[in-house]
A and B are shown apart, each in its own frame.
Chain A
Amino acid sequence: MKQLITNKLIFIMTVTMEYFRNLKFTELIKPMSSFFKNARQRKYKSAGADLYKLIYEILKILLMIAVSLTKYINHLKHRNMIVGTAVLFILFAVSWNTELAPESNEPLIFDENGKFVAAPPAPPSFVFPLGTDLGARSMVNLVLFGVKYTLGAVIGITLARLIIGGLLAMVTALWLPVFKLYFSAFFWPFRYIPALLAGIILMLPIAAVPQGYSVKVILEYQLLILILIGLPGVFYFITDMVEEIKKEPFVLSSSLMGGGKFHILTRHVWPNIKSHFLLLTTQQMMQLLQIMTFMGIFSIYLGGPHPTAITDFPRLIYRSISNELAGMAGQNYWLIRRAPWMAYSPILIITFIALIINWMKKGIEDQIAGVIPAKKKSLQEASESMGSTSLVEKSNSFVIVGAQKQPNIHIRERFYINDVIRNLFISLRRSLLKLKAYEAFEKSLLKTFAAIGRLPSPLLTALLSLPLILCAGLYGYAQYQEYTGNSREKGHKSDQVSAVAAKETYQLDYTNKDAVPTDYKAYMNYNEAEGSLNGALNITTTNTSGEEMEKLYFHLYPNQFQEPLEGMDWEMILGPSPEPGWIEIEDLFVNGKRTKFKVNKTILEIDMANWTDKQKAEVAFKFILKIPKNYSNTSLDYAAVWLGNFLPAQAVYDKDGWNLDPITPFGQPFYQEIANYDITLTAPAKYEILSNAPEPTAIIETQGDTVKYAVKLENVRDLSMVLLDKQYYSREIFMNGDTMINMWSRLKIDDLEAAQRNNMAAAQSMKYFEEYFGTYPYKELDIIRTAESNPQMSYQGMIFTPGYNFTNPLGSVSMIEGVLRQWLSGAVGSNGYKEPWVNDAISSFLLKKAMVERGYGSSNSAEQISQLQTEISRIEAQGQSLSSPLKEFKDINDYYVMIGGKGSEMYFELEKQIGAGKIKEALKTYTKEHTNKNASGYDLIKTFENAGGAEASGYFDSWLKPNTKKKE
C-alpha cells in the first residue's frame, strides 16, 4: 500500500515538474530535479519506510512552488490587474453561492438548544462576527449576498459606458470631429451639474419611495441613468486621447503614405490607447462605487426600495430590496447610533473593493508612466543579494581632473527669512537631540517609516486598513459589553440617543393640491318601511395623481355598523338599542363596462383600466343603504332621518397614496376632497327634506304621497341630508347679516327657550369668528336636532346636534363649536384621521377664547392647569403626542386632553409670544389659502411661521414632537 502511494506521489511530482519545465521555471527545476533523482534511487530501496520523509519533501517543494508562483506573479506585467480581478472574481463567486438568510420577527435570537444568543440588532460577537440586522440576519450573510449586485452593477455599467463611450469617441475623433461639439452641447447640463445631483434629479421621482413599480423596471431605469451620467466623462477622455495620438508624427507619416482612417485606428490608435482603457475602467469603477454609496444616503437603491421602512426619524427610510452593498450602507446609515455595525459591515466590504480597484489603478498608472513595479523589486532583491554594498556608490565630493583652478569670487550674502526659519528648526532639533529620548524617538520613527516603505504594497494596504477594522471591532465590542452589562436601562438610553436623526407627519407636505372635484349624480328613494335608501349613483372622477391608476377607492362609512362593535367608546356611539346598517353595491360599471369590485369593510375597491393621468372616469352603480340605528352620523329615529357621510365617497389620493382609514368612535376621522353633487331624492310627503345646499336652490315637488327633492351643490366636502317629520319639528329663524340660521328643534320635547338661546349663540359666534377667518362662507346654516346623545357633527351649512343641547344651558357652547367647524374642517379640510390636531387644536383654542368672551368663566385656574399638566404627562408617557394620529389615542379622554388641552395651550402660548394680531392674520391666510382644499399640518405650520416671523419658526416642532424619551 505504502509502496503504491509513494509511486503515485512520485508520478505526480514528475508530471508537475514537466509542467513547470514547460513554463521555464529554472529556479524551481533545480531543487525538483535533484529531489526527483533521489526519489528514483530510493524507489528501489525501501520506499515504504521513507513515506513520511517523502511527504515532508513534497511539502517543502509545494512551499517552494508557492514562493516561486508568488514571485512569478510579482514579476508579471499586469500583476495588479490580474490579482485584483482574481480577488474580485472569488468574491463574486462566493456571493453567487450565498443564499439570503430568512428574516425573523422574533424579538430574541435563540440557538438550537434554546439558549439565548442575542437580541436583534445584535452587535458583533462570536456567533455573529459582524452583528445582525433588525431582522436577526447575520450581517456577514447579508453582506456576502449583496456583493454580487454591487460588483455586477459596477462592472456591468463600467463596461457599458466604456463600450458606448469608446466607440462613439473613436468614431468621432477619427471620422466626425464636429460631432464632439454637438455632443458636448447636448450633454451641456452635465458639465455643470454634479453627477450625483443629476442622478438624484432623474431617479428620485421613480425610485425613492415604493410606488409599485417592478424591481426589474426600476433596475433597468437606474442602470440606464448611471450609464448616461458617466458617458460624457468617458467620451471626452477618449476623444482627447485619440486627438493626442493623431498629432504624433507616426500617424502623420502613416496617413501621408496612404493609410486609411481604419488603418490608423487599428494600427496606431488602439495599441496606444489600450492600457488607458484599463485605467479608465478602474477610474469609472471607483466613481460608480462612490456615486452608488452617495445615492444610498438619498434612499435611492439599485432595484428600488422595499415597502417596509427601517426608520422614520429623522427621515422615513425604506430599505434596499436587493441588499446591494451601497444601498445597504446608505439605508443603515440612519441607524448608526443604534446599530453602527449595520452601517459598517457593508462599507467595510466596499472599502475592500475600493482598495483593490485603487491598487489595480495604481498598477496601471505605474505601467503607463513606465514604472514597472516588478523591475523595481528585482533590482532591490539583487542589491540585497549582493550584500551591503549598494549598486550605486554614493560620493559627496568629487574633483574634476585637469580643470583650471577658479579664482575666488566674492558672493554677496543675501538674507532670506526662510533661512532664518530653517536655521531655527535646525537649532531646535539640535537642542532636542541632546536629549537621549528624543534621539531614540527620531531614530525609531525613521526606522519605522523605512520599514513601512519597504513593505510590498498589498501588505502596506492591509496594514493601513488594520487599524480601521480594529477600531470598528473594538467599538462593536464596547457596544456589546454595554449592551449585555445592563441591557434594560441602557437599551432605553441608546434609543434616546438614536432619536437625533425621520420626519414627522407634520413636517410633510402631503396633500394633493391638484385635486379636481368629483361629480356625484344620485337618484335615491327613501323606503320608510324598511328604513333604507335605494339609489343609483353616477360618479365622474378625474385622475389627478400624476400617473396611471389601477384602483379607485370609495369609503362606505355606514358599513362600520354592519358588525357588532366593542369597546367603551363605541358603546357611546351605538347607544342603548343599536341596529346594524350597511351599504350594498351592485351592477358596477366603469366607463360603461361592467367591472369587478371588492368591498372590504368600509372600503370599496374598484379595478380601473387605462385610467391615466388627467383622464376622467365614469363610475356608475346601484346601492342599497340600510340605515343603522344608533347615535352615529347616519341614522334615524321616530321623527327624523339624518344622513351624514352616507353616500359612497371617493377616498383621497395624495402624496402618501390612497387614504383608506376607517372610522373611529371619537374625533373626526374624515378626509375628503371637495366634490359636486346633483341629488334627487324621493320620500314620503310627510318629510321636510333638507341638505347642506341653501334652501332656495332646491326644487321640491310634491306628488300625492311622495315628495321629490332635487338639488345641485358645488364645492361640498361631505354631503349631508335630513328628512324631518313635519309633525315633530319646528323651525326658528335668525338672521346674521345675509346668512340665515335655521334651528330645527323638536316641538314639545325641546325647550323652546334653549333653542332660541342656541340660535343666538350661533349667530353671535358667527360674527365673532368672522374676525378670525373672514366672512362666513355659506348662505345658510341649518342646525338639526338629531337623537338624544349623538356626538355633534358639522357639515358645510349643516350641524347635527344632539337633543341634550336643547335642555342643557351649556348647549350654546356646542353651537359655538358647530359654527367654528364651518370653517375648520368645513371650508378648510384636513386629514382628520392622520392629523387630528390640525383643525381640532385651533378649534378648541378658539372655542375657549369665545367662551371667555361670552363669559363662561375665565381661562383655566392654576389648579386646573396643574391637573391638565399631570394628565398630559401621563398620556405622553404612554407614547401619545399632540401630533399622534387618531388611532394612537387610547380613549376619548386622552384625545380630549391632548388635542383640546395641550392643543389649545399651544395656541395660547403662541398668542403670548407673537400677539393676537398675528394669530388672526395667520388664521385668515390659512382659511383663504385652503378654502375648498385640504390643509396638512405642514401647511398650517408654514402659514403661522410666515405670519409669526422668527418667534413662530420652530415653535410648533417643540409642541408637536413626540416625546421620544418615553416612547418605546
Chain B
Amino acid sequence: MKKIIHIPFLFMTVAAGLLFFMSFPRLFDFRPEGSEHLGFRFLDFLAAFKATALQLSSGYSWRFVESWHQETAISRYTYSLEIILISLVFTIFIGSCIAYIMMSLSFTKRAKLKNVLNFIEGLPDLLVIFIIQMSLFALYREYGVRLVTMYGLAGKEPLIFPMVINSLLPSMFFAQYLLKVMEEEYEKHYILLGQAKGLSKFHLLFVHLTRNILPVISIHFKTIIFAITTNLVLVEQMFVLNGYTKELYDLLSIRGSSPAQVLFYVGVFLVPIMLLERIVTLSGKRMASVRGLNI
C-alpha cells in the first residue's frame, strides 16, 4: 500500500527534477540591476518551468526528431557509439591483462607495482593526454612516422587514437579495482583449499577466482562505462572529432534550442549506455544470486 502511494510521488519528483534542471538557468538574473551579484528571478523561473513542461508535452516541439534522422546526426551518433564500444572492449582487455599479470607476481613485487599504478592513476588525465600527443608530434616531426590519425579534421574519422586515449586511464582504474577485488577473493578459504590440493596458481586465478569475482565486477561496471563516456566527450572535443559531442555542442551553442531538443539529444546519446549498464548489472546480480552471493 505504502508503495502505491510512493510511486506516483516518486515519478512526479523525477519529472520535477528534470524540469528543474532544464529551466535552471532561468532561475537567475544575469544582469541584475543595481547589484554586482547573481540575482534570482523566482517568478520567471516558475514561468520557464511551466513553459518547459508545456513544451515537452506538446507534439509540436518534438518535430525536430524528423531532422534528427538527417545523415549527419546519425553518422555522428554511430561514430560516437563505435568509439565507446571499442574503447570499452579495449579497457576491459587492458585492465584485466594488467590485473592478471600483477596477480601472478609475488606479493612484494605486486605492492611496488601497485604504487606505480596508483601514481599514474593520480595524474591529471589532461597531462597524460598531452604527453601522448606531444610524443606523437615529436615522432612525426623527427622521424616522419605517423602512427595514428589524431584529429578528425578534413573528413577523417580516426578510431584507434580516440580509443587508446579514451581507455587508457579507465583501464588503469579498472585494473586497480580488479586487483582489489581479486586480492580480497584470494584470501578466501576455497583458494587455500585449492592451493593445498596442489592446484596451480594460474588455474586458481583463471578458473575459480574469475568465476567468483564476475558478479562483483559487473555490478561496478557502471563506474567504468561512465568514465569512458566522460572521456569520450572530452576526447571528441579535444581532437575535433566529428562525433555526437559536436552535435550536442552545436545544439547547445544555438541560443534558441528548445529544452525538448536538448533532452532528446542527450537522452538518445545515453540510452544505449544506460541499457548496456543495466544489462550488465542485472546479469551480474542474477549470476550472484545463482551462486548464492548477496550483493
What residues of chain A have their CB less than 8 Å away from a CB belonging to chain B?
181-182, 185-189, 192-198, 200-202, 204-206, 208-209, 213-214, 216-218, 220-221, 224, 286, 289-290, 293-294, 297-298, 314-315, 329, 333, 336-337, 340, 343-344, 347-348, 350-351, 354-355, 358, 362, 411, 414, 416, 418-419, 421-422, 449, 452-453, 457, 460-461, 464, 468, 471, 475, 500-501, 509, 513-514, 545-548, 655, 946, 953-954, 957
- From A186, A189, A214, contact of B36 by CB (8 A): A214
In angstroms, Cα B24 to Cα A205, docked, is: 12
Number of A-B contacts (CB under 8 A): 194
Question: What residues of chain A lie closer than 8 Å to B138, measured between beta carbons?
Answer: 475
Question: What residues of chain B lie closer than 8 Å to A220, measured between beta carbons?
Answer: 37-38
B189 at the interface (CB under 8 A from A): no
In angstroms, Cα B138 to Cα A218, docked, is: 39
Question: What residues of chain A lie closer than 8 Å to B134, measured between beta carbons?
Answer: 336, 340, 475
Instruction: Give chain A nearest CB distance to B12 CB in angstroms.
Output: 9
- From A205, A289, A355, A453, contact of B252 by CB (8 A): A205
B274 at the interface (CB under 8 A from A): yes
CB atoms of A206 and B25 under 8 A apart: yes
Instruction: Give chain B nearest CB distance to A678 CB in angstroms.
Output: 29
Instruction: Give chain A nearest CB distance to B264 CB in angstroms.
Output: 13
Instruction: Give chain B nearest CB distance to A491 CB in angstroms.
Output: 15
Question: What residues of chain B lie closer than 8 Å to A351, measured between beta carbons?
Answer: 123-124, 127
Question: What residues of chain B lie closer than 8 Å to A954, measured between beta carbons?
Answer: 154-155
CB atoms of A193 and B266 under 8 A apart: yes
Question: What residues of chain A lie closer than 8 Å to B30, measured between beta carbons?
Answer: 206, 213, 217-218, 221
Secondary structure at the A interface, as helix, strand, loop or mixed, is helix
- Most A CB contacts (10 A, CB to CB) among B126, B201, B254, B270 go to B126
Question: What residues of chain B lie closer than 8 Å to A546, measured between beta carbons?
Answer: 255-256
CB atoms of B250 and A509 under 8 A apart: yes
In angstroms, Cα B130 to Cα A340, docked, is: 9
Question: What residues of chain B lie closer than 8 Å to A453, measured between beta carbons?
Answer: 108, 111-112, 115
Q: Which of B240-288 contact A (CB under 8 A)?
A: 240, 248-250, 252-256, 262, 266, 270, 273-274
Question: What residues of chain A lie closer than 8 Å to B71, measured between beta carbons?
Answer: 946
Interface flags for B218-231 (1: CB within 8 Å of A; 0: not) read 00000000100110
Instruction: Give chain B nearest CB distance to A946 CB in angstroms.
Output: 7
CB atoms of A293 and B203 under 8 A apart: no
- From A205, A314, A348, contact of B153 by CB (8 A): A314
Q: Which of B14-22, B57-65, B90-98, B209-217 lines the interface with chain A?
A: B14-22
CB atoms of A449 and B109 under 8 A apart: yes
Instruction: Give chain B nearest CB distance to A321 CB in angstroms.
Output: 15
CB atoms of B206 and A208 under 8 A apart: no
CB atoms of B256 and A337 under 8 A apart: no
In angstroms, Cα B199 to Cα A195, docked, is: 46
Please name the residue on chain A nearest to B120 by beta carbon: A464
CB atoms of A449 and B112 under 8 A apart: yes
Question: What residues of chain A lie closer than 8 Å to B122, measured between beta carbons?
Answer: 286, 354-355, 358
On whether A196 and B202 interact (CB within 8 A), knowing A337-B137, A548-B31, the answer reads no
CB atoms of A290 and B112 under 8 A apart: no
In angstroms, Cα B17 to Cα A87, docked, is: 41
Interface residues on B, range: 35 or more
In angstroms, Cα B178 to Cα A720, docked, is: 76
A-B contact pairs, 15 of them (CB 8 A): A189-B18, A194-B233, A200-B249, A217-B30, A217-B32, A221-B30, A343-B130, A350-B127, A411-B198, A416-B202, A421-B202, A475-B138, A509-B254, A545-B255, A954-B155
In angstroms, Cα B122 to Cα A95, docked, is: 24
- Most A CB contacts (10 A, CB to CB) among B119, B198, B273 go to B119
Instruction: Give chain A nearest CB distance to B165 CB in angstroms.
Output: 13
On whether A290 and B125 interact (CB within 8 A), knowing A347-B130, A449-B109, A501-B240, the answer reads yes
B74 at the interface (CB under 8 A from A): no
- From A294, A347, A513, contact of B230 by CB (8 A): A294
Question: What residues of chain B lie closer than 8 Å to A193, measured between beta carbons?
Answer: 266, 270
CB atoms of A189 and B17 under 8 A apart: yes
Question: What residues of chain A lie closer than 8 Å to B240, measured between beta carbons?
Answer: 314-315, 501
Instruction: Give chain B nearest CB distance to A333 CB in angstroms.
Output: 7
CB atoms of B266 and A297 under 8 A apart: no
CB atoms of B13 and A500 under 8 A apart: no
B237 at the interface (CB under 8 A from A): yes
CB atoms of A217 and B25 under 8 A apart: no
B101 at the interface (CB under 8 A from A): no
In angstroms, Cα B155 to Cα A953, docked, is: 9
B133 at the interface (CB under 8 A from A): yes
CB atoms of A290 and B130 under 8 A apart: no
Q: Which of B86-110 contact A (CB under 8 A)?
A: 108-109
On whether A201 and B127 interact (CB within 8 A), knowing A294-B230, A509-B250, A513-B256, the answer reads no
Instruction: Give chain B nearest CB distance to A151 CB in angstroms.
Output: 15
Question: What residues of chain A lie closer than 8 Å to B294, measured between beta carbons?
Answer: none
CB atoms of A347 and B127 under 8 A apart: yes
B238 at the interface (CB under 8 A from A): yes
On whether A186 and B234 interact (CB within 8 A), knowing A418-B203, A546-B255, the answer reads no
Instruction: Give chain A nearest CB distance to B217 CB in angstroms.
Output: 20
Please name the residue on chain A nearest to B16 by beta carbon: A186
On whether A293 and B252 interact (CB within 8 A), knowing A189-B18, A217-B36, A336-B133, the answer reads no
Instruction: Give chain B nearest CB distance to A644 CB in angstroms.
Output: 32
Please name the residue on chain B nearest to A295 by beta carbon: B234
In angstroms, Cα B245 to Cα A201, docked, is: 11
In angstroms, Cα B28 to Cα A221, docked, is: 8
Q: Which of B5-64 contact A (CB under 8 A)?
A: 6, 9-11, 13-14, 16-18, 20-21, 24-25, 28, 30-32, 36-38
CB atoms of A208 and B13 under 8 A apart: no
- From B21, B108, B116, contact of A189 by CB (8 A): B21
Question: What residues of chain A lie closer than 8 Å to B201, measured between beta carbons?
Answer: 418
CB atoms of B21 and A202 under 8 A apart: yes
CB atoms of B125 and A293 under 8 A apart: yes
On whether A293 and B253 interact (CB within 8 A), knowing A186-B16, A315-B240, the answer reads no
CB atoms of B126 and A347 under 8 A apart: yes
Task: Kindly list 11 other residue pairs between chains A and B, CB separation below 8 angstroms, not including A205-B252, A209-B253.
Answer: A186-B16, A186-B20, A189-B21, A196-B230, A196-B234, A197-B266, A351-B127, A354-B122, A419-B200, A461-B119, A501-B151
